[in-house]
Structure 1
Amino acid sequence: MKTCFFIFLFVFSISCLAVVKRHDIPPENYVLKEAPDFLVDMPHEGHGALINPSWVVTVAHTIFYNYIGKSLRIGSNTYQIKKVYIHPEFEKPSEILLKGNLAPLMSFFKARSDIALIKLSSPVNDVLPIALYTNIKEQGKTVTVFGKGATGNGLIGEESDTKSLKQLNHFQNIIENAETNWLTFKFDKPTNGLPLEGMHGSGDSGGASVIYQGGKPFLVGLSSWQLAHGDISDFKGGLYGTTAYQVRISNYSEWIKDVIADELKTVN
């Protein structure tokens, strides 16, 4: 049972309610009444971001099976998924990695490329796509992160039964490191944390991590996983001191451009 819970929380951690918050800040401060137009809910859980009128980017582990033909609600319309491109360096963990010491699984997560592109059946014409952040100077910047995953607070961690609430939240954090495939930040205690300090939770996967420049949002990352230590059966996500890993968009900007360009060649 615990192993199944871990698989759900870590590997298929997609979207549903909120984010993990500071314990000393009213939870409603994190709540958003409306989602950014570019934020897209995946068919079951998790999120993606509209980066082109015909394309959505998400984390690969939100793709549970063949999603071709599934619908996505974007803006005021519904669009079908026409094609899915999963990065060639993405793999699912073997059963042996989902037992015992977490160290091998953490190394596995860090080595893979957790990103996918979704081609829509027709272009979106009533939503402005979010621009990609292609600068590699992410370290030290404040990001705003959106999600509907399990909520809770830094003292007790995330509470899995809150996923069913499906309430949109946002939080902020400061990027500590940019490590090839990944951006990382730590969930700091109130004495060191931002006013809306937070951590992505189970169900937030693929949620957009955004940098604002001149009032314009740029997609810098996608919520992916949390660093954990010890035995898998003792894991508790979202505690103060936990490090979050987000897909580093700048590292994949060329792959994204190449996939879209190749698809245009095929169509033409």
Structure 2
Amino acid sequence: MKFWLFLFFCFYSLAGNAVVKRHDIPPEDYVLNKIPAYLIDMPHEGHGVLINSQWVVTVAHTIFYDYIGKKLIVGSKGYEIESVHIHPDYTQPHKGLLKGDLAPLMSFFKSRSDIALIKLTSRGNDVEPINMYAGSSEKGKTITVYGRGATGNGLTGEDPDTKSLRVMNQFQNIVESAEGNWLVFKFDEPANALPLEGMHGSGDSGGAAVIFQQGVPYLIGLSSWQLGHGDIASFQGGLYGTTAYQVRVSNYQGWISSVLGR
């Protein structure tokens, strides 16, 4: 039992996000005092993003059980979940992938579509949804990413004991590649880093990555997983040099439109 609990926590360190920070910047500099209203907390853990007055997008691995009838807080009100739509190319890893060499699990993560849509029973009119980025030139853009999971720094990695604090943080990074399903960035050491350089880790999957154009935010990605090497038993999330993968929202415009149009 303890072994499978260990695998569970390893898996959600790999597939998740939090705000792991530069070690040489005061942690409070990353704290977000005014939380964008389009950021939605999921029923169990993780985040979604309001993209329509009645629809929330998230990563599929935040759907831990049947959420129909559960409530999401949008602005100051609670709205029941009417339906959940998981991308047909999303699958759960089998137990054999959650032990030993990480390479097969990493290939599995990369091959699937980690995205889901949630429909609310009624429209929320007190919160403005975020627009989705519809272009295909994400590479080189600076993204701002939000999350309230475990935190830590690039020298020591994330600290699971901070996960329960649920403090909303933000960090920035630069998209290094944008291909197919994924946006990719790396957590650079201070010499090559942005002032609020950071990395997602455990406890806050589905956190929004946004870009700003003329001051207007656009949803460009959803935090999904970290690239790990070696044995899963020795994995430490959030270290400098770690590569992160985010769901590339622009790649799913057709699927999103087809679901919203039902």
TM class, shorter-length? over 0.9
Contact 2:14 2:201 in 1 (8 A): no
Aligned residues: 258
Matched with 1:85 is 85
Partner of 2:129: 129
% same residue: 66
Equivalent residue runs for 1:1-268 within 5 Å: 1=3, 2-11=6-15, 13=16, 18-262=18-262
Counterpart amino acid of 2:66? N
Q: Structure 1, residues 120-141: CA drift from partner, whole Å, max 9, x if none?
A: 0100100000001010000000
Give the alignment's TM-score, normalised by structure 1: 0.95
What is the TM-score of this pair, normalised by structure 2?
Answer: 0.97
Question: Shift of residue 44 of structure 1?
Answer: 1.2
CA RMSD of aligned residues (A): 0.9
| Aligned-partner residue type, residue 180 of structure 2 | T
Deviation at residue 179 of structure 1 after TM alignment? 1.7
Q: Displacement of 1:9 after TM fit? A: 2.3
Amino acid at match of 1:126: D
* 1:197-251 superposed Cα distances (whole Å, 9 cap, x missing partner): 0001101210000000010000000000000000000100000000010000000
Distance 1:148 1:94 in 2: 28
| Counterpart residue identity of residue 91, structure 1 | T
Separation of aligned partners in 1, 2:14 and 2:70 = 24
* 3-state secondary structure, aligned to 1:191: helix
SS at match of 1:257: helix
| Matching residue's letter, 1:4 | F
For 1:9, the aligned partner's letter is: S
The letter for the 2-side match of 1:129 is: P
**Structure 2: which 5+ residue stretches go unaligned?**
none
5+ unaligned residues in a row in structure 1: which ranges? 263-268
Distance in 2 (CA, whole Å) between partners of 1:117 and 1:241 is 32
1:160 is aligned with what amino acid?
A: P
